[in-house]
Amino acid sequence: MTPWAGALALAAAFAVSAQTPPIPAASLRSGITYAGADVRAMQDDDLQNPGMLWSERGKALWSAAPAAGRPSCAQCHDDAATTMRGVAARYPAWDTGASHVVDLSERIEACRTVKQGAAALPREAEDRNALEVYVASMSRDMPIAVVVDGPARSSFERGRAFYYQRRGQMNLACANCHEQNVGKRLFAETISQGHGNAFPAYRLEWQSVGSLQRRLRACLNGVHAEAPSEGTPILTDLELFLAWREQGLPIETPGVRR
């Protein structure tokens, strides 16, 4: 039996199919609806939203050539407000060149290093996050619509299996909190449905913008489980499953969370 066989069986036991997400569309709720009035107001007002600082930084990077003789993002893709509209809503997605599913951060980084000849940036680097925030913000209010069939299917299945597998010293699966205990209190916070439509987001706890993978790793640490490193394929697989699970919710990047 492969390491994932038991987890895949567990996922199947939840009777979740690629055609029927576990949360009915009419019941989908963004994480911001569980937040306090102060956080909601901060996200809703671009003048108060700290994440907009990263968006402005990303905008500057979009127009700047990374090195002499190399094109800027704008030289290839023109006005991001037009050419990037709807892009974030389709990620994670199968990348033919990479031959695997990539998230938006990885896609942007590949474009930088391969097409622009720029120096590689690690995940969570300020400039990398800023570019992702800026590109994703071009899709604000657009519904998430990812593809999980075809070559992306195996990635989707691995992400789904990971989501339903118990792990860590607390022996909890993602679903134990974000499907079975939604709306209950966990310390000072209300447990949400666990959607990532606001990421990259500014978290007050971090005092910074962070990616969805950073949030996922923090959640795994919270249940005392071993967290995969940033960029590990299984985290991208999990991102794809989460994006499918929240299809129809609008992009909120840059979101604000406590």
Just list the catalytic residues.
Answer: 219
Both tokens of 112, joined, read 């930088």
Both tokens of 182, joined, read 């939604």
Query: Tokens 């962070």 correspond to what residue?
Result: 210
Q: What is the DSSP letter of 3?
A: T
Nearest-CA neighbor of 112 among 98, 125, 133, 131? 131
Q: What is the DSSP letter of 225?
A: -
Cβ atoms of 203 and 210 within 8 Å: the answer is yes
Report the alpha-carbon angle 192-196-202, nearest 5: 95
Q: For residue 167, list its beta bridge partners.
A: 172
HSE value, Cβ hemisphere, 13 Å, CA-based, for 83: 9
Cβ atoms of 224 and 85 within 8 Å: the answer is no
Reduce the DSSP state of residue 208 to 3 states and report it. strand
Cβ atoms of 48 and 42 within 8 Å: the answer is yes
Residue 46's alpha-carbon distances to 54, 57, 146, 255, in angstroms, are 12, 14, 27, 10
